[in-house]
Structure 1
Amino acid sequence: MKRRNFLSSSALNTLALGFGLSGFAKTSFSDDSKSRKQAKNTSAAAQGPIAICTWEFTQANATAGKLLDQGYNALDAVIQGVAVEEENIKNTTVGKGGSPDREGNVTLDACVMDHTGNCGAVMCVEDITNVAALARKVMEDTPHVILAGEGAKEYALSSGFKAENLLTEASEKAWKEWLKESKYQPIINIENHDTIGMLALDAEGNISGACTTSGLAYKMKGRVGDSPIIGSGLFVDNAVGGAVATGMGEEVIKTVGSFLIVELMRNGMSPQEACEEAVRRIVTTNPNHVNFQVAYIAINKKGETGCYCIHPGFKMMKYENGTNNPIVAGSHLQKN
């Protein structure tokens, strides 16, 4: 079957990944000297395969990193890495256990992109846990880039994925409590903590990425954020690097943030500088940025990495040479 490529129509020949995955206040502007120090701390020459992910998803990033050390390619590593959080019922922002929409339905979004520029995405999927693996299935085995809603679920079931109830007892209880006031005001670094995005540079020097989420808690039915949108939530150009976004998806979409970061790197910026500029594009056009969080992570072909956000509190995990450490991101705003 002919497969659609995001950048070209060339066919992709890659390993098929099995989809039976097991669980495993007041603010002020920061100064540039701190930003440059952050860039220096997170940009070092690659000594081996590297995995980075949004937020402090330690086990997920370690899973991907260890697979890279064993010789797995970047796409296999990131999909199995993010699956750890998709299957973690204590994580209310990804996969099974994710917070529902206003009607009480858990809907998941995800996308993947490999080193050839090929990509796949699924949106508003119910009852399927490992939607990153499903997005890969769409990428590799259909003529499409995106499947949504019932169509995506039907394709998953026909491809061997198992249906299960994604609304856990804890998430349902929290949703019913929310219904008492039905107030929609996302809490920075909590409800905006809605995505695991992961990028990997493998031993062959190839970069791939995955992004998966249950979206904002108590979103409107049918709402889709940036996470499954290629160029917004995730973008990879193997000649340059890759980037992933997290936070308020509507704001990331407006600037096509991940694509922007890769293009800035193409034009000579480091991953750190590119992440900072992408955040500035948002805050300089939206005075309401004090009320929401957006964060980016990025990696280039040299293995240099970067991360930056609007509000303090965001961390990136980085696995390299057998070590897996959190990196505190610099922020456009700082607490007094």
Structure 2
Amino acid sequence: MYNRRKFLKISAAGASLAALSKYTPASAANLSLAPTLPIVISTWDFGIVANKEAWKTLSAGGRALDAVEAGVRIPEADMHNHTVGRAGYPDRDGHVTLDACIMDEFGNCGSVGAIEYIAHPISVARMVMEKTPHVMLVGDGATQFAVENGFKKEKLLTPESEKAWKEWLKTAQYSPVMNIENQQHRPGGKYNHDTIGMLAIDAKGNLSGACTTSGMAFKMHGRVGDSPIIGAGLYVDNEVGGATSTGVGEEVIRNVGSFLVVELMRQGYSPEEACKAAVERIIKKKPETAKKIQVGFLAINKKGEYGAYAIQQGFSFAVCNAQKQDLLIPGKSIYKG
């Protein structure tokens, strides 16, 4: 008999389906490549070479965790990159301090913040994850841990970075540069960028992610952004997907941005829709601030569908899978001017 209880049950189910239909995973028309595994994606155009390094592991059937660590070590070692790794610009006191985090398919994670004298913070972050009961080590303690575990201690302030710092000291005005990648040319026509965040799914369907940066140039000594903070600069859930961020870390931290993106995907949002919603939340909370800064999110779901969104134009991300190894995609944005 068709009673009121049965009617309400059917109505509720219909409403749930209707809600999900708005946020179904992105169709092939909305993707630059149809989903295929394994796959690795990362922020900015230097993500192309980073992805290719990660692909060596993925294409051989290796683990996503090994792939993302190997991948982001490439920009960390790039002597022309002044926002990631050993050639990063220093803080206002002349210290090169680096941040990084890593997360695997089991929910294990490790990070380092404001570490000095170590060229590859991502590998120290992985060691924190695998060799300690902790998630995060910072400052002198992180450096001590790295040295005790075989990492080489070295001066990271390069002549080029030191020259830029001394030039900045003439005015000592601090204002984050929006889309720095479009304003600082590198030799060979390349550009200087921002944080690299990388997400990968291996042949077994398992996810891992990595994020590494030297932070904002000429920041206050001791400043740590979103990049080493699990849930802000990076978050991975092997049942759902992963997300990473780039740009002004303070606003990402305030909104726990990458965790938010993953949770939205859990609710049925496509990666692009989830990234856009996270960006919109930042703008809603601080509309005047958002007009002056850049924040971008990049995400991938369990199926291998990916997407990105940013506050301002200029953000791009790289994709690598069996179909194409050097794809660079312009990220969509809220503000177009």
TM-score with structure 2 setting the length: 0.86
Once the two structures are TM-superposed, the CA of residue 37 in structure 1 deviates from its matched residue by: 9.6
- Matched AA of 2:329: I
* 1:310 alignment counterpart: 311
Aligned residues of 1:39 and 1:306 also touching (Cα < 8 A): no
Matched, 1:178 2:178: no
* 2:157 alignment counterpart: 167
Q: After superposition, what is the alpha-carbon deviation per residue over 1:302-330, rounded to whole angstroms, capped at 9, x for unaligned?
A: 00001110110010100011512001000
In structure 2, C-alpha distance between the alignment counterparts of 1:201 and 1:268, rounded to whole Å: 19
- Given the superposition, is the C-alpha separation of residues 312 and 37 from structure 1 closer, same or farther in structure 2, using an over 3 Å criterion? farther
Once the two structures are TM-superposed, the CA of residue 71 in structure 1 deviates from its matched residue by: 1.4
Q: How does 1:88-107 map to 2 (within 5 A)?
A: 88-107=78-97
* 1:128 alignment counterpart: 118
In structure 1, C-alpha distance between the alignment counterparts of 2:212 and 2:70, rounded to whole Å: 12
Larger Rg: 2
Once the two structures are TM-superposed, the CA of residue 46 in structure 1 deviates from its matched residue by: 2.6
Once the two structures are TM-superposed, the CA of residue 62 in structure 1 deviates from its matched residue by: 1.3
* 2:101 alignment counterpart: 111
In structure 1, C-alpha distance between the alignment counterparts of 2:117 and 2:28, rounded to whole Å: 41
Aligned residues of 2:102 and 2:122 also touching (Cα < 8 A): yes
Once the two structures are TM-superposed, the CA of residue 216 in structure 1 deviates from its matched residue by: 0.3
* 1:69 alignment counterpart: 59
Q: After superposition, what is the alpha-carbon deviation per residue over 1:201-232, rounded to whole angstroms, capped at 9, x for unaligned?
A: 00000000000000000000000000000000
- Matched AA of 2:153: A
* 1:5 alignment counterpart: none
In structure 1, C-alpha distance between the alignment counterparts of 2:27 and 2:100, rounded to whole Å: 29
- Matched AA of 1:161: F
Q: How does 1:1-336 map to 2 (within 5 A)?
A: 40-42=29-31, 45-57=34-46, 58-190=48-180, 193-287=193-287, 288-323=289-324, 324-335=326-337
Aligned residues of 1:43 and 1:272 also touching (Cα < 8 A): no
Match of 1:167, SS? coil
In structure 2, C-alpha distance between the alignment counterparts of 1:44 and 1:61, rounded to whole Å: 16
Match of 2:205, SS? coil
Aligned residues of 2:26 and 2:305 also touching (Cα < 8 A): no
Ranges of 4+ aligned residues in structure 1 off by more than 3 Å: 36-41
Tell me the matched-pair count.
Answer: 300
Aligned residues of 1:79 and 1:132 also touching (Cα < 8 A): yes
Once the two structures are TM-superposed, the CA of residue 48 in structure 1 deviates from its matched residue by: 2.2
* 2:4 alignment counterpart: none
The worse-fitting range, judged by mean Cα deviation, of 119-128 and 59-68 is 59-68
Q: For structure 1, which runs of at least 5 residues remain unmatched after alignment?
A: 1-35
Match of 1:176, SS? helix
* 1:32 alignment counterpart: none
In structure 1, C-alpha distance between the alignment counterparts of 2:32 and 2:248, rounded to whole Å: 26
Match of 1:174, SS? helix
- Matched AA of 1:50: I
Match of 1:122, SS? strand
Aligned residues of 1:128 and 1:162 also touching (Cα < 8 A): yes
Aligned residues of 1:110 and 1:228 also touching (Cα < 8 A): yes
- Given the superposition, is the C-alpha separation of residues 308 and 245 from structure 1 closer, same or farther in structure 2, using an over 3 Å criterion? same
In structure 1, C-alpha distance between the alignment counterparts of 2:109 and 2:199, rounded to whole Å: 14
In structure 2, C-alpha distance between the alignment counterparts of 1:43 and 1:119, rounded to whole Å: 30
Of Structure 1 and Structure 2, the greater helix share is in 2
Once the two structures are TM-superposed, the CA of residue 158 in structure 1 deviates from its matched residue by: 0.8
